[in-house]
Structures are given as structure tokens and as C-alpha cells.
């Protein structure tokens, strides 16, 4: 079975350099390999990533006007066959001659609106570079894929758009939209849901995938809130004592309904999410010193709803940049 890279997305901007393209050749399928099963495994991963990118795009696009930092994005996720556990099987299963292809495009994004970026369509050009020519790491190494995504962001920033070329000779140019500076990544294993300051990383077995879209978006909004509020950097400075983590968790809970409102979801979904999610947590989590009890968390989220309603009635939007009350000030040292 093809093993998926631990991370399917991106890190920080890297400088792209010209490299000589690799010779393109399709290796024969390995003896006894069930390519239909491999395609099904890849499709399952892509289906989960599609949902993650769709909901993530709504959140970062809908809140871009209020985020402290924005980046240009087209809503495109790539895949690199070389980063799979068995690259030759991935290529054969997907019918690729090279390594790079479309993985997903977020619903409503410029990439979707371009109409040409279909799942598994092979890519040979990102602006003037062929990412297939960049040196690949060891199997399960996602660094080259990270480099490709960062290169896209760099081209969007420098040129206001990017030309994407396909293996069949066609090309499309896509113009970006501004989004909050967070990327969403799917891990090929585990149940994790974490934010590191620039990314929200979700494990493919995370129970949130079983929820409806709005509830799933609420889970993502909580993690996104950590990034937008600068919690990782603040904890780096203050230390990760339980009481400090608890303050950041409370803020992330409270910002959830604001983010949902601007993404087109009912802000009340955040309350429902915590009411449903809290009882699922192991008993040790209910009394963990890093989190309030789930009933207290529900009350804190619910207290934001009239504030959101008032802001929307007065201004037509849930401007959390102006109306959200911080419990910490990231740059005050306190």
C-alpha cells in the first residue's frame, strides 16, 4: 500500500531556484500491486483533504478583512508522488509520468473558478519553473511539496498571479484572492488537530470528519483562532504553564463564533459544537488544568453571541478586530 507523507502541505517561504527537469518516464506497475486499491486509498485521502480545504477556505477568505496578516492564495493543493512511501506505485496508480499533480482545489477559490485544475491533472510548470526538476528527498519527505506551495505564494506575491502548465501542453493563469495567513494541511495518519502559528494540521482520522460541515468548520475555527491571535508566539515568550495555555484556549473558544459568522455559518454552531464535543472528551480532559470545563467553555462561547449580533446589526459584519475582547495582549509581555 502507498504510504502517505506525514504532512501534505506547506511550511514557510523558500527561494525557488532553477533546476534541470528530470527525465519523464512511467515505471511499470510492480508485480502483484493492486492499483485499484491504491487509487482508492489516494482518493480517500483526497476526499478528506477536499473537505478540509473547502471549510478552511471559507474561514480564511471570509475573515481576511480582519486578520492581522493576509497572503495571496488561489486555493490549490498539490501532490508530489515522490513524497509517498512508494512513489512508483503512486505514479502508476494515478497515471503520472512525472511527480506533481493537482490534489484538490477549494470550493469557491480562484483555482476552482479557473476550471482547469482538475484532481490528479499532471503539472509540469509553476510560472517559469518545473517543480519535477527540483531534487526530491527520501520517501515520505514532504519538503519538496512544501517548496512548491511556497513557490506558488511567492509568485502570487511578486506577480499578482501564476501561470500553471500541464503535461498535455495546456496552461492556465490564475489570479489570487487575499486570505488570512494560515494554511490547512492533512496528515495521512492520526487524530490530531493542532495549530502552529502558520498552519492548521488535521489528522485524517480526526473525529471531526464525521460531523456536518458547520460543526467541522467550528473545530477548524478554534484551531485557526490560535493562529490569528498569535498564541504560539505568545506562549513561546511566556512559557507553557497550564494557566497560560488555559487563557489561550479560552480566547480561541470565544473567537470561534466570530470566525464562523464571517464564513457564512451561524455563529450559534460554535455553542453546539462545544456542547456535542465536550462529552466526547475523556474524563481526564474535562478536568485538565490547560482547559476550562466544557460547560464553562460553552458559557464563554455563548456570551459572544449577543456581541456578534450587535456588531452585525450596526455594521453588517462581525468585525472581531474591533469588537473582540482579548484576555491576553501578545506584545505586552503580560
Boundaries of CATH 2.30.42.10 in the chain? Answer: 35-180
Tell me which residue of 172, 180, 69, 58 sits closest to 121, measured CA to CA: 172
The percentage of the chain sitting over the pLDDT mark of 90, rounded to a whole number, equals 77
The fold adopted by the segment(s) 35-180 is Pdz3 Domain (2.30.42)
Distance from C-alpha of 139 to C-alpha of 84, rounded to nearest angstrom: 6
Question: pLDDT tens, 176-191?
Answer: 999 999 999 999 899 9
Among 3, 170, 18, 168, smallest CA distance to 81 is for: 3
Per-residue pLDDT, 171:
97
Predicted local distance difference test score (pLDDT) of residue 322: 96
Q: What is the 3-state secondary structure (H, E, C) of 106-132?
A: CCCCHHHHHCCCCCCCEEEEECCECHH
User: pLDDT digits over 222-245, tens only?
Assistant: 999 999 999 999 999 999 999 999
Per-residue pLDDT of the chain (334 residues; tens, 9 = 90+): 545 555 544 322 222 212 223 333 444 546 667 999 999 999 999 999 999 999 999 999 999 999 999 999 999 999 999 988 899 999 999 999 999 999 999 999 999 999 999 999 999 999 999 999 999 888 777 899 999 999 999 999 999 999 999 999 999 999 999 999 999 999 989 999 999 999 999 999 999 999 999 999 999 999 999 999 999 999 999 999 999 999 999 999 999 999 999 999 999 999 999 998 776 665 545 556 788 888 999 999 999 999 999 999 999 999 999 999 999 876 654 4
Q: E-strand spans in the chain?
A: 70-73, 76-80, 100-105, 123-126, 162-166, 171-174, 177-180, 183-187, 193-195, 199-203
From the DSSP assignment, how many helices (H) and strands (E) are in the chain?
12, 10
- Distance, in Å, from the CA atom of 75 to the CA atom of 86, rounded to the nearest integer, reads 27
Amino acid at each position: 500500500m502507498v504510504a502517505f507523507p506525514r504532512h501534505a502541505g506547506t511550511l514557510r517561504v523558500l527561494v525557488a531556484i532553477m533546476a534541470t527537469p528530470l527525465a519523464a518516464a512511467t515505471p511499470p506497475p510492480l508485480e502483484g500491486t493492486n492499483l485499484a486499491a491504491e487509487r482508492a486509498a489516494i482518493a480517500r485521502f483526497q476526499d478528506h483533504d477536499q473537505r478540509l480545504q473547502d471549510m478552511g477556505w471559507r474561514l480564511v477568505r471570509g475573515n481576511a478583512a480582519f486578520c492581522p496578516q493576509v497572503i495571496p492564495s488561489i486555493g490549490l493543493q498539490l501532490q508530489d508522488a515522490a513524497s509517498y512511501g512508494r512513489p512508483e506505485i503512486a505514479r502508476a496508480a494515478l497515471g503520472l509520468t512525472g511527480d506533481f499533480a493537482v490534489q484538490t482545489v477549494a470550493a469557491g477559490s480562484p483555482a476552482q473558478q479557473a476550471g482547469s485544475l482538475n484532481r490528479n491533472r499532471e503539472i509540469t510548470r509553476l510560472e517559469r519553473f518545473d517543480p519535477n526538476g527540483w531534487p526530491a528527498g527520501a520517501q515520505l519527505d514532504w519538503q519538496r511539496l512544501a517548496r512548491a506551495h511556497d513557490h506558488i505564494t511567492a509568485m502570487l506575491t511578486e506577480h499578482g498571479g501564476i501561470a500553471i502548465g500541464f503535461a498535455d501542453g495546456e496552461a492556465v493563469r490564475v489570479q489570487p484572492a487575499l486570505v488570512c495567513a494560515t494554511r490547512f494541511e492533512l496528515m495521512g495518519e492520526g487524530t490530531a488537530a493542532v495549530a502552529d502559528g502558520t498552519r492548521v494540521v488535521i489528522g485524517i482520522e480526526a473525529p471531526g470528519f464525521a460531523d456536518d460541515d458547520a460543526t467541522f468548520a467550528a473545530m477548524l475555527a478554534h484551531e485557526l483562532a490560535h493562529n490569528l491571535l498569535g498564541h504560539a508566539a505568545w506562549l513561546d515568550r511566556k512559557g507553557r504553564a497550564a494557566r497560560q495555555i488555559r487563557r489561550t484556549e479560552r480566547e480561541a473558544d470565544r473567537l470561534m463564533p466570530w470566525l464562523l459568522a464571517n464564513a457564512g455559518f451561524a455563529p450559534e454552531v460554535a455553542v453546539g459544537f462545544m456542547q456535542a464535543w465536550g462529552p466526547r472528551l475523556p474524563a481526564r480532559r474535562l478536568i485538565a488544568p490547560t482547559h476550562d470545563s466544557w460547560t464553562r467553555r460553552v458559557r464563554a462561547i455563548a456570551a459572544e453571541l449577543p456581541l456578534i449580533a450587535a456588531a452585525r446589526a450596526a455594521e453588517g459584519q462581525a468585525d472581531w478586530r474591533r469588537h473582540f475582547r482579548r484576555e491576553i495582549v501578545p506584545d505586552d509581555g503580560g
